[in-house]
Amino acid sequence: MASIDTAQSPPRSFSFNDPVVRGVIYQVVVAVLVVVFLVWIVNNTAINLKAQNKTSGFDFLWKTAGFDISFTLFPFDRTSLYWQAFLVGLTNTVLVAAIGIFFATLIGFTVGIARLSSNYLVSRLATVYVETIRNIPLLLQLFFWYFAVLKTMPAVRDSLALPLDTFINQRGLFVPKPIPDEQFVWVWAGLAVALVLWLVLRQWAKARLERTGKRFPVFLGGLALTLVIVGLVWVVSGASVTFDPPVLNRFNFKGGLELPPEFVALVFGLSIYTAAFIAELVRGGIQSVSHGQTEAAQALGLQDGDRLRLVIVPQAMRVIIPPLTSQYLNLTKNSSLGAAIGYPELVNVFTGTTLNQTGRAIEVIALTMLVYLILSLGTSAIMNWYNARVALVER
């Protein structure tokens, strides 16, 4: 007759030698110390503010700023409020970060692939670019582009004419300003619908490839679908876009869109600098792909461009994306260096002028830190989502 073992493990006794108990005690002690430290900081700050007869709070955001900002994406003058100044700095920072990330990615991938080119001259030029740019401090590069390049441009009367009615001088870059009519909102709606259908097409093509092994040109098909939908909506709605070109008057340009030299120098400097690091990430990611993958693609008869686009780069992206996220975060945070050349980004407008006028150091610094924290976490979330999309799926 089979016996049933009813013995139970003895209950765990409380002992400091038990690693589980010891770990819980350590965590409780650390949590208590952190809480005590925070309470001490808050209490000490309140005592010091009271001793200096200073007030605290965020009520200053609804007071008149009383200063102008040279570059804004929406109307702002001396009668605007401090929260509007904060919004100007925020939008200017996001604008520089978004444009910088786009151009840094484009330049970085191009240079990174060029470093592995079989053409000696192309690979050497790419190497010189990377080794030179990434070893010069970013702040010095911003000074170079601003003071040594843009500020030495000719005066307004002697502006350099560029293609497409574009001009550059000491006051910045002047480009034609697009002016869409009221019906153009339907074009934006058509574009949104086309992007949704593009995602649906991508999922269908993926399922078709897994089911039949036949590849569908998603990019060309999605591009054609977008052009058809947007073009059809454009024709039916009667929308139109006119361009207001800059015209040189006696002392300055009239019309067009003026991009100040501070903006141009900051975007150009951030893009060039960050692209040098992205190029190294791309080179390392491509070299991490097994050479057998290249040989297999050659055996299938793929051309060099198709081999790189369809086989090598998709596998390299799994290595490139994690450090690429760090470079995007660095670019966003490095935009604060625009204060050194007078670009009105968040640090310059809010942590600089607003802080000096209001004296609310704690509130101003806290809001600025919160903005950079949210921008960094948002960028990381997007890149982590994309990283999960391209990660290898184990079976």
pLDDT value at position 329? 94
Residues 306 and 361: beta-carbon distance below 8 Å: no
Nearest-5° angle of CA 192, CA 194, CA 195?
A: 65
Two tokens, residue 105: 């990615």
For the full predicted model, state whether its pTM sits above 0.85.
no
Q: CA nearest 134: which of 272, 301, 282, 290?
A: 272
Helices (H), the chain: 19-51, 82-115, 120-133, 138-143, 184-212, 218-237, 261-288, 291-299, 304-307, 313-334, 346, 355-358, 361-390
The Cα–Cα gap between 392 and 287 comes to: 18
Q: What amino acid occupies position 70?
A: S
Q: What amino acid occupies position 7?
A: A
pLDDT value at position 3? 52
CA 260 to mean position of chain CA atoms = 21
Nearest-5° angle of CA 278, CA 280, CA 281?
A: 65
One digit per residue, pLDDT tens: the chain, 395 residues? 455 555 555 555 556 677 777 788 889 999 999 999 989 988 887 787 777 777 777 888 999 998 999 888 888 989 999 999 999 999 999 999 999 999 999 999 999 999 988 889 999 999 999 999 999 999 999 999 999 988 888 888 888 888 888 888 888 888 898 888 888 888 889 889 988 988 888 888 888 877 887 777 777 888 888 888 888 888 888 888 888 888 888 778 888 888 899 999 999 999 999 999 999 999 998 888 877 777 777 777 767 667 777 777 778 888 889 899 999 999 999 999 999 999 999 999 999 999 899 888 888 999 999 999 999 999 999 988 888 877 665 55
**Full DSSP string of 211-279:** HH-----HHHHHHHHHHHHHHHHHHHHT--EEEE--EE-SSSEESSEEE-HHHHHHHHHHHHHHHHHHH
